[in-house]
Structure 1
Amino acid sequence: MKRLLPAPLLSVSLWALWLLLNLSLSAGHLLFGALLGLLAPIMFAPLRPLPARIRKPAVALSLFFLVGRDVVLSNLQVAWGVLRACHTSPRSAFIKIPLDLHDAHGLAALSVICTVIPGTVWSELALDRSVLLLHVFDLGDEVQFIEHFKTTYERPLMEIFQ
């Protein structure tokens, strides 16, 4: 059964998305959406990553709310930095953050976090996954930023995935 339907939730989601995008429940759309939902996961199964094991769901939930808080605060900080840019230029910088996190799923989550939070851009990851190059819009103290980044995001992700 797993061979014919490798990702049932994905199949149903693709079918529903097809119907939603076409705004139609005609027989053709129902049939084509079902066909798409059945065949796409089979064709792309080799591209799917190994399943992630979330070891501490409570830490994941806590991290979710922490990132949400940081998104709001960072939006306000970036807006303030843009508004005061005519008087004081933001101190943009590239910083190298040494990483202890090496799990692929954890690094993917960390990249999403960096992308979601305004003012930070994931620029490069070393081939051995030991250093992250991050661009920061307005950097105050580099050492303090690195410590905040590691304690707030990297350590919880290590608890969740490693």
Structure 2
Amino acid sequence: MMKRILPHPALSIMLLVVWLLMANDITVGGVLLGALLGIVLPKFTEPFWPDRPRVRFGRALLGYCLVVLADIVIANFQIAWLILFRRNRDLRSRWLVVPVALTTPEAITVLAATISLTPGTVSSDVSADGRSLLVHALDVGDETAEIARLKSRYEARLQRIFA
């Protein structure tokens, strides 16, 4: 019964939260409208999601969110330092091909979005077979170390979340 009302409960909750954040105010009407959107939109998109991704909520997801938030804050300071104190010709920008071990499109999308959210890196393309990401990094000393860092900080955690 509950699955018929909420086919994707995580998506419903996310839609409600995003609606309230966009409204920038918590009112009864805003909560009701957000809840309505959280129920109606997943019902309309359900045929496009034949295989729901299996997401583990809990410590792994919370830990991932904390790591991403910390990395965003730290990267903002690093980029500000690069812009203020280094010349453009001293930057070592690189295109990185990051091999991906994740198998679900949702997990690969979260990885690409995470990389793009972190200042100084942009995920620009996914290979046709979904086995690698093309990432542009603003300042990279060692390409191999940067790829290993992306895989250990983000991909390894996402493998635990998307079981």
* TM-score, normalised via structure 1 length: 0.73
For 1:87 and 1:77, locate their aligned partners in 2 and report how far apart those are by CA, in whole Å: 14
TM superposition shift of 1:49: 6.5
Task: Measure the CA separation in 2 of the matches of 1:71 and 1:118.
Answer: 7
Give the corresponding residue for 1:153: 154
Following the alignment from structure 1 to structure 2, what is the Cα–Cα distance between the partners of residues 67 and 137? 18
Q: Distance in 1 between matches of 2:35 and 2:68?
A: 36
Structure 1, unpaired ranges of 5+ = 27-31
8 Å CA contact 2:16, 2:34 repeated in 1: no
In the alignment, structure 2 segments of 5+ residues that lack a partner are: none
Match of residue 141 from structure 2: 140
Write the letter of the residue equivalent to 1:93. R
Higher mean alpha-carbon deviation, 96-105 vs 119-128, is at 96-105
SS in 2 for 1:61: helix
Residue pair 2:112, 2:133 contacting (<8 A) in 1 also: no
Alignment of 1:91-106 (within 5 A): 91-106=92-107
Counterpart contact for 1:93–1:138, Cα < 8 Å: yes
User: Number of paired residues?
Assistant: 157
Question: Matched residue of 2:128: which SS?
Answer: coil
Structure 1 residues 85 and 100, CA, compared in 2 at 3 Å: closer, same or farther? same
Are the counterparts in 2 of residues 6 and 45 from structure 1 also a CA contact under 8 Å? Answer: no
**Could you tell me the TM-score, scaled by structure 2's length?**
0.73
Indicate the larger mover: 105-114 or 51-60: 51-60
C-alpha distance after superposition, 1:62-113 (max 9, x if no partner):
1111111111111111111111243753111101111111222211211221
RMSD: 3.7
Match of 2:116 in 1: 115
